Amino acid sequence: MNLNLNIAPLETWVNLKKKPLVIAGPCSAETPEQLMATARGLQSLKVDIIRAGIWKPRTRPNSFEGAGEEGLKWLADVKKELNIPVGTEVANPEHIELALKHNIDVLWIGARTTVSPFAVQEMADALRGVKNVAVLVKNPTHPELNLWIGAFERLNQAGITNLGAIHRGFATYDKSKFRNQPVWQIPIELRRIAPQIPIICDPSHITGKRDLIFEISQKAMDLNFDGLMIETHITPDKAWSDADQQITPEKLGEILSELKIRVDSTSNQVFNDHLEDLRSKIDNIDRELVEILAQRMAVVEKIGEYKKENNITTFQVKRWDEIMKNRAELAKKMGLNPEFVTEIYKIIHEESIRKQTEIMKAVETKA
Ligand code: PEP
Ligand code: MN
């Protein structure tokens, strides 16, 4: 895929105090006092951008749906008094117009909006020709990478280059651990195909629980994400939305100081040589792995031919059951996670069946 995106480096549109970029503030702006008190607590932590939701996309009606335009004034006051950039969520052209009128610096498109190409296109059109604004795009609620990428393309085609991605996890039926599953391979794949897009992790909406925020933030840092967006409230338990996941500015300070920020690369020659040595070991092992897979597949083909000659079905449940049990036990003995090995075998088995079905078909056409 050729992603022809023209994205400005993060440092060109935000005065980054230090890595990671930190966006913090309440889920919702509730009152001018609540917003200002929270923002003051964050100012001393050197937070880069203050966030607050003004229009809240609530799952069910009759919950707090945000302060609306009034709240934009409170956000503008925070910006003026504390001299910090501010950001809010926008979901339609009217929100954009109002946010720009109040000089909001950063707009983000929420997960429930990114899912709709119509809504994203309307907003891109409303942003055409707008300068000095940054737009962050939250991942769509379901794990469809192309929908996320499509939003960047629409905004970029409208001339917006100050762009960033927010990884906030994906809707899940099983909410026992996370409110939204992180599915890390999606932001990792985004990084691979569009390395120019800064990625900010939102551990608040991934976890839904304040106790897990540190763990997810650290993981995002270990994956070399560029920033964090963390919901922060002066009195979290009394928050009008997302109370369980909000933390005090003080707690945010603790989390930020405990995070281990690792670097992407180093000029330490001894380290680099050792890493290179280990990587070449991995390369050799991988070559052997692929060779062994090829050998296995050659035997699978032989079995396929043999089954064909004897008119036996490709899939035999008893044999498959045996393989699954035995390979999981083998994995356990070798100190590997049996689930990991079982998953690999499911893929290998699927490919074996595909190969043997091909062989069976070849018989039918020959006959
Ligand atoms: C939010 O940031 O408050 C929000 C509504 O997030 P999301 O779009 O990720 O649900
Ligand atoms: Mn929220």
Residue 53 Cα to ligand 2 middle (Å)? 8
Residue nearest to atom 2 of ligand 1 (CA): 27
pLDDT of residue 362: 86
Residue 46 Cα to ligand 1 middle (Å)? 23
Contact, 24 vs 47, CB < 8 A? yes
Question: pTM of the entire structure?
Answer: 0.84
Q: Is 205 in the pocket of ligand 1 (CB under 6 A)?
A: yes
Report how far residue 211's alpha carbon sits from residue 206's, in angstroms, rounded to the nearest whole number: 12
Contact, 96 vs 138, CB < 8 A? no
Contact, 227 vs 23, CB < 8 A? yes
Contact, 351 vs 297, CB < 8 A? yes
Question: Residue 146 contacts by C-beta under 8 Å, 6 or more apart in sequence?
Answer: none
Residue nearest to atom 6 of ligand 1 (CA): 110
Residue of 138, 201, 202, 228 to mutate, ligand 1, most atoms within 8 A of C-beta:
138
- The tens place of each residue's pLDDT in the chain, 367 residues long, gives 668 899 999 999 999 888 899 999 999 999 999 999 999 999 999 899 999 999 998 889 989 999 999 999 999 999 999 999 999 999 999 999 999 999 999 999 999 999 999 999 999 999 999 999 999 999 999 999 999 999 999 999 999 999 999 999 999 999 889 999 999 999 999 999 999 999 999 999 999 999 999 999 999 999 999 999 999 999 999 999 999 999 999 999 999 999 999 888 888 999 999 999 999 999 999 999 999 999 999 999 999 999 999 998 888 889 999 999 999 999 999 999 999 999 999 999 999 999 999 998 985 655 4
Residue 200, φ and ψ in degrees, nearest 5:
-115, 130
- The half-sphere exposure of 284 on its side-chain side, counting CA atoms within 13 A, is 6
Query: Would you state the structure tokens that stand for residue 61, as one six-digit string?
Result: 């009606």
3-state SS, residue 86? strand
Report how far residue 165's alpha carbon sits from residue 182's, in angstroms, rounded to the nearest whole number: 14
Q: Is 57 in the pocket of ligand 1 (CB under 6 A)?
A: yes
Domains of the chain in start order, with CATH, are 10-258 (3.20.20.70), 269-366 (1.20.59.10)
Contact, 110 vs 138, CB < 8 A? yes
Report how far residue 207's alpha carbon sits from residue 169's, in angstroms, rounded to the nearest whole number: 9
Picking from 145, 154, 137, 156, the residue whose alpha carbon sits closest to that of residue 200 is 137
Q: Is 110 in the pocket of ligand 1 (CB under 6 A)?
A: yes
Query: Would you state the structure tokens that stand for residue 290, as one six-digit string?
Result: 């692929």
Report how far residue 114's alpha carbon sits from residue 146's, in angstroms, rounded to the nearest whole number: 11
pLDDT of residue 184: 97
pLDDT of residue 364: 60
pLDDT of residue 2: 60
Q: Is 168 in the pocket of ligand 1 (CB under 6 A)?
A: yes
Residue nearest to atom 10 of ligand 1 (CA): 111
Report how far residue 135's alpha carbon sits from residue 123's, in angstroms, rounded to the nearest whole number: 11
pLDDT of residue 363: 57
CA distances, 151 to each of 53, 124, 188, 337 (Å) = 20, 9, 17, 38
**DSSP secondary structure letters along 1-53:** ---------GGGTS---SSSEEEEE-SB---HHHHHHHHHHHHTTT-SEEE-B
Q: Is 233 in the pocket of ligand 1 (CB under 6 A)?
A: no
